[in-house]
Amino acid sequence: MSVPSFGVGTFRLTGQTVIDSVRTALELGYRAVDTAQIYGNEADVGQAIAESGVPRDELFITTKIWVDNYGRDALVPSLRESLKKLRTDYVDLTLIHWPAPGNGVDLSEYMAALAEAKALGLTRQIGISNFNIELTRQAIAAVGKEEIATNQIELSPYLQSDELTAFLKEQGIAVTSYMTLAYGKALKDPVLAQIAQKHQATVAQVALAWALQRGYAVIPSSTQRENLASNLLARDLRLDADDMARIQQLERNGREVNPEGLAPVWD
């Protein structure tokens, strides 16, 4: 996999809250951190990383370009600004945050600008986020599938997107799962609770282990040290075939994030 299988997310966390979360995660052994321009927390994340004392070459930092910066003249300068906030000379992965069809910038233009950012050494890898099959095909046509490290998409036991994930696997593009706990809804699920009890695990660990066993990277977030530490243990949890089959039955196209004007027509 071209991206780490386990990282810490920072969506909806700002100020001292995100500084504490990232710093704690790094203390616990996390080495991948996911942020985005629109989160408004890149400077806070940069501060947490700087204060952590973890060498830069041990870290994997991901950020995402916001739709306002998709134009060829805007993308690279916006990424340079992100690097200043993050206090680093480069990020390890830069994603197009949403395909935003109809926002006035052609997909081929912003993918070319993203590839230029890589050529300039501002980012080690590039990728996409929230792209459906057709738009992923267009991104591949623009820069080549070997250039697309991952498609970061919403995935949970309630939204398994088998068609899209199968296509990405076929293309050799890694899948990064966000919202793996479905905004916390998964934590109250009786089926997941039964599986958790069986393995003497937490429900969060079960959901994360499900995604990991399907070959996805995960980026759960938490403000609690206990939960950040507990989530890491999902890497050691092995669900059996019966567990995986039961989770498969939870599919209900339960999408939590679908912003109008930004999201594609989903597969």
In this prediction, residues 27-43 reach a mean pLDDT of 98
Instruction: Please check the confidence at residue 1 and state whether its pLDDT lies above 60.
Output: no
- 3 state DSSP class of 3: coil
Measured distance CA(115)–CA(121) in Å, rounded = 10
pTM: 0.97
For 57-113, the pLDDT digits (tens) are 999 999 999 999 999 999 999 999 999 999 999 999 999 999 999 899 999 999 999
Instruction: Please check the confidence at residue 6 and state whether its pLDDT lies above 80.
Output: yes
Whether 196 contacts 205, CB under 8 Å:
yes
Q: Which domains does the chain have, with CATH numbers?
A: 8-183+215-221 (3.20.20.100)
| Active-site hit among 30, 39, 158, 178 | 39
| Tokens read off for 187 | 């934590």
Question: Catalytic: 216?
Answer: no
